Structure 1
Amino acid sequence: MTTFPCSLLTVRIIRMRNLRRADALSQSDCYVTLWLPTASCEKLRTKTVNNSKNPVWNETFYYRIQPEVKNLLELSVYDEDTVSPDDLLFTIRFDVARVPVDERVVMHFKSDPKAQEDLEVEFLVESASGPPETILTNGVLVCREVCTLEAEVNQTKRHKSKKDLSLSVKGSCEGTHSFKLGSDAIVTPPCPSTFHYVKYKEPILDVSLPKSKPRYKPCTCSYSTPKEVPPVVLNSLPKGEKVPIVEEKKYNLHVKVNDCQCSCPEDLDVRLGYELCPQEQEFLCKRKRRVAQALKQVLQLDYDLQEHEVPVVAVITTGGGTRSYTTTYGCMRGLQHLNLLDCITYISGLSGTSWAMSHLYRDANWTQNDLYEKIHEAKKQATKSKKDMFTKDRIKYYQQQLNQRKQEGYKTTFIDLWGLVIEYMCNDGKNNHKLSEQREALMYGQNPMPIYVTINIKDKYSTHDFKEWVEFTPYEVGFLKYGAFIQPEDFGSEFFMGHLIKKLPESRMCYLHGTWSSIFSVNLLYIWNRVSSSEEFWHRWTHDKLIDLDEDPYLPTKPYEIRSHMYVPAGELAQKIRAVLTDRFSVSQYHNFLKGFQLHNYYLENECFQRWKATTLDYCPNQLTEHEDYLGLVDAGFFINTSCPPALRKQRKVDVVVHFSYSAGSQTLPLEQACTYYKQQGIPFPNVVLTEEEKKHLKECYYFNESETPGCPILIFFPLVNDTFRYYRAPGVKRSSNEMDAGNVDVSSCNSPYNTFSLTYSEDNFDKLVNLSEYNVLNNQHLIFRALHAAVERKRQQHYEN
């Protein structure tokens, strides 16, 4: 928490030279809009200059800015049309931080050097009067001071009919409140109502009075127009005092502005920081003691492991519907038989793996108990008929649950219905389990910590162009990229600038399952990528253009500053094609807990942001997630079928990754894609390279150890293959002739009974898949033990070197 002075930004739109034609028969009717969302909720604009190639405006605009946030001014040039919507010719984005303080700078933005098209703008940044502003930041997101406006309507007389009084504060969390003035003289909803808004955004209250008919005045032979209330500048109102805004015979309106809410990090309901939360750190201390004892026994060490010698082992899984749901149990049983479950610190999953994980974590001591009962229950669910999924009673239940969820304040989508279908597939009856309840399984460090993974996407962008990793644990839900986390009980509730505004009930686990495995969020570009692995063709024809601008004078750009560029929207046909390619049938939507935050001026230099920066909009801060009302969450498999990224957070210091692949098709492709992604992001990870011949004849397990790369974990990779299992019923125990059928498990052909869209297995196929995945673990225990020995030795060596 620090205080920083504000500055005054003056922008003078001077003129445009050699403006392109937007109309065939005349020059453009041009105007310029200014958008600086970090300083104002309003888009400002110049007057329109008609039919001119060289329009002159000479109009001046003022903004109060906070230099600690990234102030990216967008200047958009439009051609005004009277019949059709105005045409956006281009937008220039300019980083205000590049303007020297107290120095008037006239910039020439040359959008088309050949045509000598040139927008001339003058900038001046100088100190602003008034007290400094208190801000909180983690180096990427900035929380600014938030004020509240309490509005109270008192009705003194009855109305003949119900009428609405509407209040709005643009840029506030609530936006608009409406009050019904009833014939019973009771105002609904009950008063007062509250607006939350950013103090330094120059907020304005607009009041819309109940509509009334104009009254005829005989003496003047005219009609009197209904009364209007002029806009109220909220920063001009006295703090803590009731101020009358409307006083009528039948009702009156009073408002009261309360002081700012941001004073220290503890006041926020969103945790800003990339470090692990205190609850997870406490868990790690307890878990390390258990892991140390387990490793001593498993590795048959003749000494006690010290805290600094205990490696962090993470089990990483992939998605795959019922296939991954089933295989997870076999892998866990294999690890349990080797006494390795107590050696693991984290287990991460997505899609169908999350169904199995949440089932396991209903038992607070599942790793200490025999998994027979849990596998028997999973078998019952995987093999039961799914015909009753859409009976009349079941549909009635779905409708009742969705209505209840909507009444609670959630924005329901088809993915919520899909979550209820998953609930039916994996349970007998309603499952009231919630993510926060899994903390009981971590209370004494008795189990590995579960991590569930999804990605946040954006409309009209493919997952290759825009994706942001979101992790779910029993302790927190948060963005790896932004370093912002909330408690799982609050996920889905309404937030503004880090403050919890409206608490909603915590979602049941089934709705999260729908989000983590949202197969209905597929789009055409994802299918195209499965075939070609490149979007270059579609980029060329459908994407907007971002062009680096020539500037005069040239202002040096520091590493944290953004170069000026011009944005030119794609044509109407290209936009329609792009909309078709990127459209998803349904996306899971939750209230955005980043809403209102702003990006720090130095966010691009932040190491943690850089580690997860992977979208085309990372240099367009005005288009990033903190400006959205809702998150759009989909199955992470629509980018890469892996749950590994959260385990690779620097702060988790994972030493060994045990990677189980449950993918359909190529078993190595998701891992290869992940390795390419990690390399691009600068994340240490083994470089997995297999020849085409090796891919045709995959082994059960692979060991990768790049010990010379600092921070690089050891990787144990288990593809889903049937190799020696067809001949051996247990490691070293050959099958008899009448046991050969049990080893005939088809996990790779197009006719496999385990395809991703198969929801029901036969009992025999379920048993075969569980036994196969368990066998592959048991048969390669030597590689797992080798990795654990190597990790212990590396930890000891690192300690002595330090």
Structure 2
Amino acid sequence: LTIILYIILHLIQNRIGHSLSEGETKYLSGRKLSVQKWLVKNNIPCSLSEVPNIAILGSGGGQRAMVGMLGSLSQMGEQGLLDAALYMSGVSGSTWCMASLYEKANWSSDKEQIKVVVERLGHGSVSLMERFAQLNKYFQTNDNFSLTDVWAALVMPEIVMKIDESTLSNYQTCHDKDPYPIFTVTNQDCKYECLLQTFFELTPHEAGYTLAGAFVETSNFGSIFNKGFLTKRKPEMDMTYLQGLCGSALADKEVILEKFKEYVGGMPKYITHRITIANMLFVTINQYLLTFVVFRLGIHEAIWPFIVENILKFVEGWLKFWIWGTNYNYLYSVNAPHIDQRLLKREITHLEDAGLLVNSPYMSALRAEREIDLIISFDFSEGDPMEVRTKHCNELGISFPAIDCTKSDNNSPKGFYVFKGVKEAPTVIHIPLFNVENCGSELDAYIQKYTTFQGAYSPEMIEDLMKKAGENVLNHKEHLMEEIKAIVQQKSGTMPSSCLIA
């Protein structure tokens, strides 16, 4: 029996290649039929080959992104637009929304599921005892226990108001009427070494490197592989852990450090002359200690740098344990010349919140094999993400529309942008959450009211934020329909040549 099990295990292997998985391809075949019916119903007749591949994307932004995505999708459903989408992809806070909706089979055709999630967010709770029980479960079962387990067990249930022990592979057969879901993260180990191996996606059928083309069945992600073959099966991560992994905004020391450098720019040189992770964590404490020690205890200021130096040494030693997103590397010792050899030599690897690099799951939609024609991107982030997306696409040689935004667009964004693609590039619809159309003179007030890092929203805040997000869809329903129709005409060759982008 042992020999038989050993042989069966070794028949399971990872997949090196760029094609879509068989499961995703089959799923999309059924979904395209639904999209075609929707197009005909909306007076946009087309053959099956002319059905546009439309992807809905949700950016990160903590609970603001989760609630904003809920509001956007709710209004998409109300306006009968959800049935046009082939894919749905999220990063960070938007994945929390996705996971909550996909708990129910075929949620996009059931308006009640969004109401259920909203009610849970506003009035639900998960006890501390339940969260610690989940943490203990992770500790007992996860060989690669890390701070992501702690974050997932203790923090995520406080945000999404549920412990979800289902798995992503469960979605394979129960969502045939929903857009195909893609959850995105990044590989922390490759992030500063090789951009091609950085972007990582998890779907109901496969998990793997979006652009590099190296995948494993989702049900086997987290198991032990050697030279491409499964050697020891491990339990698949549950959805609570996956949400923690996707939303692990504290995982990357380098990114947080960069943000911290901006923050401490004006502080005294004796605090900032050594910009380390320890500075980042203790600079505020240092300020208060300095005031207390120098002015209250009368210790000479010249001694303070010595005190700080020793505190920092202690903290830097402790920070060696700042480890997140640890997983077995299914590419360990694989023979794959096109993949960076540094990745292949690691027995374990570390995944993190993709929003720390690019706060939108664009790379999942730009995967060539998905042939996306139109991207509807809901942006719940802070800052100017479009510039970053364009930069990475240029580095990787990926076709992306030219972004025509002025400085005033950054300070006072409109509610709807269309960037036309050329050649293989898709058309991109960019929808900022807060803009001059839905917020008017209160734009700055809304930006300050709903920040990325803040406590749980009250029911009133949830209702208000969902309304604002929904207005972006309601205000531009006709524009959305026009762009969908234009894509169909372009694919069928019926669009007037004057309308095509050279």
Partner of 2:251: 521
Is it true that 1:402 corresponds to 2:402 in the alignment?
A: no
Q: Deviations over 1:78-135 (max 9, x none)?
A: xxxxxxxxxxxxxxxxxxxxxxxxxxxxxxxxxxxxxxxxxxxxxxxxxxxxxxxxxx
Deviation at 1:428, TM superposition (A): 5.5
The match for 1:776 among 445, 450, 472 is 472
Counterpart Cα distance in 2 of 1:463 and 1:281: 32
The match for 1:592 among 315, 323, 329 is 329
Amino acid at match of 2:336: L
Higher RCO structure (Cα 8 Å, ≥6 apart) = 2
Partner of 1:440: 173
The match for 2:462 among 749, 755, 766 is 766
Deviation at 1:441, TM superposition (A): 3.2
Does the CA contact (< 8 Å) of 1:494 and 1:591 recur in 2? yes
What's the secondary structure of 2:136's corresponding residue?
helix
CA gap 1:678/1:530 in 2 versus in 1, 3 angstroms: farther
The match for 1:284 among 8, 28, 44 is 28
What's the secondary structure of 2:174's corresponding residue?
helix
Partner of 2:483: 787
TM-score, with structure 2 as normaliser: 0.80
Spell out the pairing of 1:236-315 with structure 2 (5 A cutoff): 267-298=11-42, 300-301=43-44, 304-315=45-56
Deviation at 1:798, TM superposition (A): 9.2
Partner of 1:457: 188
Amino acid at match of 2:373: D
The match for 2:351 among 633, 639, 645 is 633
Spell out the pairing of 1:108-119 with structure 2 (5 A cutoff): none
Counterpart Cα distance in 2 of 1:528 and 1:327: 27
Counterpart Cα distance in 2 of 1:433 and 1:278: 22
Is it true that 1:475 corresponds to 2:236 in the alignment?
A: no
Partner of 1:419: 152
What's the secondary structure of 1:501's corresponding residue?
strand
What's the secondary structure of 1:724's corresponding residue?
coil
Partner of 1:326: 67
Counterpart Cα distance in 2 of 1:405 and 1:797: 55
CA gap 1:593/1:719 in 2 versus in 1, 3 angstroms: same
CA gap 1:525/1:404 in 2 versus in 1, 3 angstroms: closer
Does the CA contact (< 8 Å) of 2:436 and 2:443 recur in 1? no
Deviation at 1:585, TM superposition (A): 2.7
Does the CA contact (< 8 Å) of 1:462 and 1:526 recur in 2? no
CA gap 1:277/1:394 in 2 versus in 1, 3 angstroms: closer
Is it true that 1:718 corresponds to 2:431 in the alignment?
A: yes
Counterpart Cα distance in 2 of 1:275 and 1:311: 19
Counterpart Cα distance in 1 of 2:463 and 2:233: 44
The match for 2:451 among 755, 773, 780 is 755
Deviation at 1:712, TM superposition (A): 1.1
Spell out the pairing of 1:57-72 with structure 2 (5 A cutoff): none
Alignment gaps of 5+ in structure 2: 263-274, 277-312, 498-502
CA gap 1:273/1:777 in 2 versus in 1, 3 angstroms: same
Counterpart Cα distance in 1 of 2:151 and 2:472: 32
Is it true that 1:674 corresponds to 2:393 in the alignment?
A: no
Partner of 1:379: 118
Counterpart Cα distance in 1 of 2:207 and 2:54: 21
Deviation at 1:518, TM superposition (A): 0.8
Does the CA contact (< 8 Å) of 2:399 and 2:425 recur in 1? yes
What's the secondary structure of 1:520's corresponding residue?
coil
Deviation at 1:328, TM superposition (A): 0.9
Deviation at 1:497, TM superposition (A): 1.2
Does the CA contact (< 8 Å) of 1:703 and 1:783 recur in 2? no
Is it true that 1:693 corresponds to 2:426 in the alignment?
A: no
What's the secondary structure of 1:311's corresponding residue?
coil
Q: Deviations over 1:448-476 (max 9, x none)?
A: 100000111228x7489796111100011
What's the secondary structure of 1:281's corresponding residue?
helix
Give the number of the structure whose residues are more often strand, by fraction. Answer: 1
Partner of 1:796: 492
Does the CA contact (< 8 Å) of 2:65 and 2:93 recur in 1? yes
CA gap 1:404/1:663 in 2 versus in 1, 3 angstroms: same
Counterpart Cα distance in 1 of 2:48 and 2:234: 41
Does the CA contact (< 8 Å) of 1:326 and 1:378 recur in 2? no
Q: Deviations over 1:623-671 (max 9, x none)?
A: x21110112001111111111101111110000000110103x2xx212
Deviation at 1:282, TM superposition (A): 1.2
CA gap 1:268/1:375 in 2 versus in 1, 3 angstroms: closer
Larger Rg: 1
CA gap 1:395/1:676 in 2 versus in 1, 3 angstroms: closer
CA gap 1:463/1:417 in 2 versus in 1, 3 angstroms: farther
What's the secondary structure of 1:319's corresponding residue?
coil
What's the secondary structure of 1:767's corresponding residue?
helix
Counterpart Cα distance in 2 of 1:779 and 1:584: 49
What's the secondary structure of 1:725's corresponding residue?
coil
Amino acid at match of 2:56: V
Counterpart Cα distance in 1 of 2:437 and 2:495: 40
CA gap 1:513/1:767 in 2 versus in 1, 3 angstroms: same
Amino acid at match of 2:466: V
Amino acid at match of 1:274: H
The match for 1:488 among 218, 221, 224 is 218
What's the secondary structure of 1:678's corresponding residue?
helix
Does the CA contact (< 8 Å) of 1:722 and 1:746 recur in 2? no
Does the CA contact (< 8 Å) of 1:516 and 1:635 recur in 2? yes
Does the CA contact (< 8 Å) of 2:58 and 2:361 recur in 1? yes
Does the CA contact (< 8 Å) of 1:655 and 1:713 recur in 2? yes
Spell out the pairing of 1:501-580 with structure 2 (5 A cutoff): 501-528=231-258
Amino acid at match of 1:504: K
Q: Deviations over 1:154-177 (max 9, x none)?
A: xxxxxxxxxxxxxxxxxxxxxxxx
Counterpart Cα distance in 2 of 1:363 and 1:514: 20
Counterpart Cα distance in 1 of 2:34 and 2:241: 33
Alignment gaps of 5+ in structure 1: 1-190, 197-257, 533-540, 543-575, 604-608, 610-617, 728-739
Does the CA contact (< 8 Å) of 1:457 and 1:463 recur in 2? no
Counterpart Cα distance in 1 of 2:439 and 2:136: 48
Counterpart Cα distance in 1 of 2:212 and 2:334: 10
Does the CA contact (< 8 Å) of 1:477 and 1:487 recur in 2? yes
Partner of 1:663: 381
Worse-matched range after superposition: 678-687 or 626-635: 678-687
Spell out the pairing of 1:85-100 with structure 2 (5 A cutoff): none
What's the secondary structure of 1:595's corresponding residue?
coil
Amino acid at match of 2:451: N
Counterpart Cα distance in 1 of 2:258 and 2:160: 35
RMSD over aligned CA atoms reads 3.3
Partner of 2:279: none
Does the CA contact (< 8 Å) of 1:382 and 1:425 recur in 2? no
Does the CA contact (< 8 Å) of 1:274 and 1:484 recur in 2? yes
Does the CA contact (< 8 Å) of 2:414 and 2:437 recur in 1? no
Partner of 2:418: 703
Partner of 1:357: 98
TM-score, with structure 1 as normaliser: 0.51
Counterpart Cα distance in 2 of 1:660 and 1:501: 41
Deviation at 1:778, TM superposition (A): 1.0
